[in-house]
Structure 1
Amino acid sequence: MNIRKATPQDAAGIAKVQVDTWRTTYRGMVPDDYLDQMTYSRREEVWGKIIEDGQIVYVAEDNGEVVGFANGGEERSNKYSGYDGELFAIYILESYQRQGLGRKLIAPLVEDMKVKGLTSMIVCVLEKNDSKQFYEVLGAEKVDTVKINFGGRDLKEAVYGWKDIDQVKL
């Protein structure tokens, strides 16, 4: 297993991981038609731009195949005083979950965030998503619950945070 910074050539692999994990993780939480309309090609285009724009993106690869990724940067909403960074996404193919890859992906991302001068971090996760326990294990505390509309469905999203990015339990 190799963890490394993503390159534009990884966009297709990242797109596949995102689409596949959304379909396995969010089925029943978000509208099925939204999940069914996701395509590798559209997500590949988005991820290509994200990587080229210099966002922090790391991939986990196994035998040259991207099996997980994480990305983050500056907190986007400006709603959470005291939090300047954000873990935007972390997704790992189902068959690779619960093997320590999440921590391995977050570790270099956190280091890059510190280099950029970020000192704290939030992450948003659907309330019904069991992965919120992962963030709790890493020392995050719940700071808010917000309503979001996703694909025409009202959902609740939990906001977790680390006031000190050095306190992420990696």
Structure 2
Amino acid sequence: MNIRKAAKEDASGIAKVQVRSWQETYQGLVSKDYLDSLKMEDRKPLWERSLSESGDTSPVFVAVNPDGEIVGFASFGKERSGEFKAESELYAIYILKKYQRDKLGLKLLKAGLDELIKKKYDSMLVWVLKENDSRKFYESLQPEKAGEEAVEIAGREYIEVAYIWKDLKMLYHTIVEKRLADR
């Protein structure tokens, strides 16, 4: 599996992964009608714009399988709310279900941390739905819980949990030395 920085030409692949991941991950959590309404064609222009305008300030990394298909991505940037003592934010990691549990999340996170550390960021925040089992991935990396917030998706209220890592170099070390070293 190849991990690389995304380019504008990757917008379709990223949009496809985002929509399919939502449909796979949130099945049974979010209404079927809402999940069925998600379309790659709606997300593609947003990713084209994002990759064109903010590639340096908000890097996106993709996981590409041997057939050249994007099967996962991670998006990073400056912490958006200003409410937490975090300089950067992991906006999203999405991986197609077939490729989960293969350390792709860790590899994408490592690529983003490389970039954030080079840009002199020391801390990072991530938001995750409390009911999403994928939050255990983040919890396994021992963040501090920073808060909770209600969000509405398809007319239903959900709780999002904010986690923060105050030392990105330590997180990087944990990923590289302990988690990725376990083969």
Report the TM range for the smaller structure's normalisation. over 0.9
Q: Is residue 2:22 matched to residue 1:30? A: no
**2: CA distance between counterparts of 1:10 and 1:98?**
23
User: Match for 2:92: what amino acid?
Assistant: A
User: Match for 1:154: what amino acid?
Assistant: E
**2: CA distance between counterparts of 1:117 and 1:74?**
12
Note the C-alpha offset of 1:115.
Answer: 2.1
Deviates more, 1:133-142 or 1:18-27: 133-142
SS in 2 for 1:9: helix
Which of the residues 127, 131, 136 maps onto 2:130?
127
- The corresponding residue for 1:74 is 78
Q: Is residue 2:144 matched to residue 1:117? A: no
- The RMSD of aligned alpha carbons is 1.1
Q: Is residue 2:154 matched to residue 1:151? A: yes
Deviates more, 1:50-59 or 1:110-119: 110-119
Note the C-alpha offset of 1:88.
Answer: 0.1
Structure 1 unpaired stretches of 5+:
none
Segments ≥4 residues shifted beyond 3 Å: none
1:47-126 equivalent positions in 2, closer than 5 A: 47-53=47-53, 54=55, 55-62=58-65, 63-80=67-84, 82-126=85-129
Structure 2 unpaired stretches of 5+:
176-183
- The corresponding residue for 1:8 is 8
Note the C-alpha offset of 1:140.
Answer: 1.5
SS in 2 for 1:99: coil
TM-score computed with the length of structure 1 as normaliser = 0.95
SS in 1 for 2:148: strand
Note the C-alpha offset of 1:158.
Answer: 0.8
TM-score computed with the length of structure 2 as normaliser = 0.89
Note the C-alpha offset of 1:31.
Answer: 2.8
Deviates more, 1:147-156 or 1:65-74: 147-156
SS in 2 for 1:148: strand
Percent sequence identity over aligned pairs: 45
Does the 8 Å contact 1:3/1:58 carry over to 2? yes
Does the 8 Å contact 1:139/1:167 carry over to 2? no
Note the C-alpha offset of 1:50.
Answer: 1.2
Note the C-alpha offset of 1:139.
Answer: 2.2
Note the C-alpha offset of 1:136.
Answer: 1.4
